Amino acid sequence: MPLYIAKRLAIGVGTIWAAFTLTFLLVHSTDNSPGAVRLGMGATPEEVEVENERLGWNRPLLTQYADDLGKMVRLDFGQSLINRGDVRDQLSDRLPVTASISVLATLLAGIVGTALGVVAAVRGRGTAKAVNAFSGFSLSIPSFWLGVVLVYFFAIRLDLLPATGYSRFSEGVGSWLQSLALPVITLAIGGAAVVARMAASGMREALAREYITTLRAIGTPEWRIRYIHALRAASLPVVGALGVQFIVLFGGSVIIENLFALPGIGQAALFGATGNDFPILIGVVVMSTAVVVITNLVLDLLTAVLDPKLRTR
């Protein structure tokens, strides 16, 4: 088990490093420069050059890389080129919003998807076909469009939920959940479809196993066979799928924040991308990757709890 955790941790650190390096290379592969971004349209080439010199942009690439990497380890991403604010402070305000959306959406997708998958696996051919059709359908609906449709029905026509805006957790759990309801549901539907297919095939595979016959032969009640033994077996691929889904839903929430006007990290990425704000971009990528890595570590631990082969290693 310690070896397993160490391995996962190493991969996590490697992922953050890869994210940083990739973005660093992207930023440095353009003819745009931070000086030009910082001073805006009106600046002369000479002024830009002076500013770049001041920002250390003209140093050798490797020196800058080592320098930036060192700062990144200390969570120092520098200042925004646009609003001059500290990148870490700006992003750490926004991170909880995106993280809440994607964590809640992953949880919802996991619960709804597992329930659908189990029903599809045990309720015979007709139900299985219906669930499969639903999954195929919801996998193909773009979340940013589904969001618009849901806003139209639930916020505008029925007036049940707020269409846009964010209410902080500290302002009350009720209004926090209300402000997140539509974005979370929007995102979760696609995830639930993936999980449902995974859970259904996992259950079916488990129920075809030899040990199910053993359990039947000692008169184990059917509910126990299904919901304790088969479901436990199916939970392994489902948890595996949730790790991938979290990455997908995190990306989705970056897009969805724009639709629901939520002050998350995706909005920062959007402004950063529009304004070529390099420090913001690097900060967003590194911090998002860190969230993804931490969530996947938690799911890895969960897998180890569920699977004795990993636990007893």
Partner 1 sequence: MSSIRQAKHQRIPAFLRSWGGVFGAGWLIFMFLASITARWWRPYDVAEQDLIARLQGPSSEYWLGTDAVGRDLFSRVFTAGALPLQASAVMVLVAFGIGLPLILIAAERGGRVEEAIGRFAETIMSLPSTVILLAAIGAIGNRIYPVMMIFGLLVSAALYRILIGVAKSSRQHLYIDAARVDGMGSIRVNLAHVLPSMARPIAVQAAIVYAIGLLIINGLAFLGFGPGEPQPSWGFMIKDASDNIFNSPWMMVPPGVALSLTVMAANALADALAGPLGIPEYTPPKRRRTISASPAQQSEGTDNLALSVRDLSVVVEGGPTLVSGISFDLRQGEVMGLVGESGCGKTMTARSLLGLLPAGVEVSSGSIIWQGRQIAGLPERDAIKIRGREIAMISQEPMVALDPLFSVKSQLTRPLRRFRGVGRREARRIALELLRQVGIVDAERVLRCYPHQLSGGMAQRVAIALALTGSPKLLIADEPTTALDVTVQAEILSLLRALVAETGMSVLLVSHDLGVVADICDRIAVMYSGQVVEAGTVAEVLEDPYHPYTMALLGANPHVADDAPEPERLAAISGSVPPPGNWPEGCRFADRCQFAASECSVAFEPEPAHVDGMSLCIRTGELRRTGAQWAPEHRGAELAVESEAP
Nearest distance in Å: CB 173, partner 1: 27
Judged by CB, which is closer to partner 1: 54, or 313?
A: 313
Backbone phi, then psi, for 158, in 5-degree steps?
A: -95, -20
Cβ neighbors of 42 (< 8 A, separation 6 or more) are: none
Judged by CB, which is closer to partner 1: 43, or 290?
A: 290
The burial of 210, by beta-carbon neighbours within 10 Å (0-12 exposed, 13-18 middle, 19 or more buried), is given as exposed
Geometric angle at alpha carbon 198, from 301 and 265, rounded to 5°: 60
Nearest distance in Å: CB 303, partner 1: 12
What does the alpha-carbon distance between residue 131 and residue 121 come to, in Å, rounded to a whole number? 10
Residue the block writes with tokens 């259904």: 200
Nearest distance in Å: CB 32, partner 1: 8
Judged by CB, which is closer to partner 1: 29, or 170?
A: 29
Judged by CB, which is closer to partner 1: 70, or 137?
A: 137
Nearest distance in Å: CB 251, partner 1: 3
Judged by CB, which is closer to partner 1: 56, or 136?
A: 136
Instruction: Calculate the alpha carbon distances from 125 to 111, 198, 205 in Å.
Output: 22, 17, 15
Q: Reduce the DSSP state of residue 79 to 3 states and report it.
A: strand
Judged by CB, which is closer to partner 1: 93, or 171?
A: 93
Nearest distance in Å: CB 9, partner 1: 13
Q: What is the CA radius of gyration of the chain?
A: 24
Nearest distance in Å: CB 254, partner 1: 5
Closest by alpha carbon to 205, among 242, 235, 175, 182?
235
Judged by CB, which is closer to partner 1: 31, or 46?
A: 31
Nearest distance in Å: CB 206, partner 1: 9
Angle between helices 278-306 and 265-275 (to 10 degrees): 150
Amino acid at 26: L
